[in-house]
Amino acid sequence: MILSSEKHEFLIQAAKVAAESAYAPYSNYFVGAAILTESGEIFTGCNIENRVLGGSICAERTAIVKAVSEGHRKFQAIAVHCKNNEGWPCGVCRQFIAEFGLETQIIVESDNKKLVVKKISELLPEKPVGVTT
């Protein structure tokens, strides 16, 4: 499904609001994400760091975990906003997003404030392990 530019902008704005809640005392890399479910609901998340790096979680995974815990398994798009600069999902988040569908759109605001939209399948060099859709 192709989303309108208005929907992309709405999701980016929701991701910006979510970034305000980020807990990033170690990296100062404040990230927010907003995921749009197939049914039209939006869940947001922010990154939460921990002294033990493995205990940290990215904004994208926070939003997905919230959506999945509420019974959602199919997603149209996820917007990602980094307060300090342009930021794309990390490798772990890309795999996490792909788990739920290779057609999910990733929306990022570039450094020049233009929205860039790509499918998660475009951000992965090969089909992720275990993903059949």
Specify the pTM.
0.91
What does the block give as tokens for 25? 């005392």
pLDDT in tens, 95-127: 999 999 999 999 999 878 899 999 999 998 776
Q: Which of 9, 60, 70, 103 is catalytic?
A: 60
pLDDT in tens, 6-47: 999 999 999 999 999 999 999 999 999 999 999 999 999 999
CB-CB contact of 64 with 77 (8 Å): no
Domains detected in the chain: 5-123 (3.40.140.10)
CA angle 10–79–92, rounded 5-degree value:
165
Examine the residue annotation and report whether 20 is marked as an active-site residue of this protein: no
